Amino acid sequence: MEKNKAILHLDLDTFFVSVERKLHPELNNRPVLVGGLGDRGVVAACSYETRRYGVHSGMAMKVARQLCPAATIIKGETTTYSKYSNEVTEIIQNKVPAFEKASIDEFYADLTGMDRFFGTYQFATELRKEIIRESGLPISFGLSRNKVVSKIATPRARPSLIIKSS
Interface with Mg ion by CB under 5 A: which residues?
A: 11-12, 15, 105
C-beta atoms surrounding 89 within 10 Å: 15
Q: Identify which of residues 12 and 71 has a Cβ nearer to Mg ion in the complex.
A: 12
DSSP 8-class letter at 13:
T
Cβ at position 116, least distance to Mg ion in Å: 31
**15 neighbors 45 (Cβ within 8 angstroms):** yes
Q: Which of 106, 126, 130, 134 is catalytic?
A: 106
Cβ at position 62, least distance to Mg ion in Å: 24
Pick from 28, 60, 24: nearest CA to 44: 60
Cβ at position 82, least distance to Mg ion in Å: 14
Active site residue 49: no
Q: Identify which of residues 88 and 114 has a Cβ nearer to Mg ion in the complex.
A: 88
Q: Identify which of residues 4 and 160 has a Cβ nearer to Mg ion in the complex.
A: 160
Pick from 151, 132, 131: nearest CA to 142: 151
> Which residues, including other chains, have CB under 8 Å from residue 145's CB and lie 6 or more apart?
4, 5, 6, 7, 166
Give the residue numbers marked as catalytic.
Answer: 106
